[in-house]
Amino acid sequence: MPTKLTIPDLAAKKAAGERLALLAVGEVLTARWAERAGIDIVGVGDSIGMTLYGHENTLSMSMDQMINHTRAVRTGAPNTMCVVSMPYGSYATREMAVINALRLMKESGCDAVKMQGGREKFDIIKAIADAGVPVMSQVGLVPHMVHKFGGFKMQGRTAEAAMEIVDNARAIEEAGAVGIEVEAMPYEVGKAVDESVSIFTAAIGAGSACTAQILNGYDVLGAFDTFKPKFAKRYANMSEIAVKAFAEFREDVVSGSFPDADHSYQMKPEEAQRLADMLREEKP
């Protein structure tokens, strides 16, 4: 079993040029598989609003939901670093952000929390960090601003837009964050972000320059098939396997071949005979 990463390890891994794998999961089974596979970090993102709840975006997830899902992930992966997303609306003010970040740390069992936003969230990031909570934030495509962006769209298309992303990353580091998620931008912009900060960076759809690469576990498994982001790579087709298994189960039920003797409990012969005798004696 690999040694569980600590917060100081993240900056050390970046400085050493090592690469880490971060997988977003939301319940005990995939968390258990991730730990068995040696995944370095599990993230409980509010993307589970889409992958597990079927919502059109991440905005409806609550603190209680994030805590409950993180508890399940921690149960499945007790020896893996766990980062949990602060849901939309949970860090609107400094006071609210600190209260909710502390609650996540106390009640979910996570090792760090992650919010979204850059320089405009400087005071909030700093407040969480000053409260003693390891905090990360996010640049590029920030799903909590999906309506402002007009959808889930790649960011940093122009040099000016790229420089704004870099500035946001620098502000996140200045505020005391321990890491940055870098999402949905050209490789050149992701590389510029990574080279502009000394703290841990994790990319999802932002090229290969960052210390960690993130994928959603349900994309990796091919379990979430509503749509496939450009940056997602499917390593299996669990959706197809599951549909086939469920269909075969139904066929067996309809045909009467399930359950058979191998999948049924049976009484001892003498007890079965006694039961038959009792039932017969009950008849008028």
Using alpha carbons, select from 143, 140, 135 the residue that is nearest to residue 172: 135
Q: Are 177 and 125 in contact (CB under 8 A)?
A: yes
114 vs 270: CA distance, rounded Å: 63
> 3-state DSSP call for residue 111?
coil
With a CB cutoff of 8 Å and minimum separation 6, the contacts of 60 are 49, 53, 88
Q: Are 240 and 222 in contact (CB under 8 A)?
A: yes
With a CB cutoff of 8 Å and minimum separation 6, the contacts of 120 are none
Helix (H) or strand (E) holding 212: strand 212-216
With a CB cutoff of 8 Å and minimum separation 6, the contacts of 194 are 182, 201, 203, 209, 210, 211
Q: Are 121 and 139 in contact (CB under 8 A)?
A: no
Residues carrying an active site annotation: 183
| One-letter identity of residue 81 | M
Residue 237 has, within 13 A of its CA and on its CB side, a CA count of 5
Angle at 120 (CA atoms; ends 216, 45), nearest 5 degrees: 15
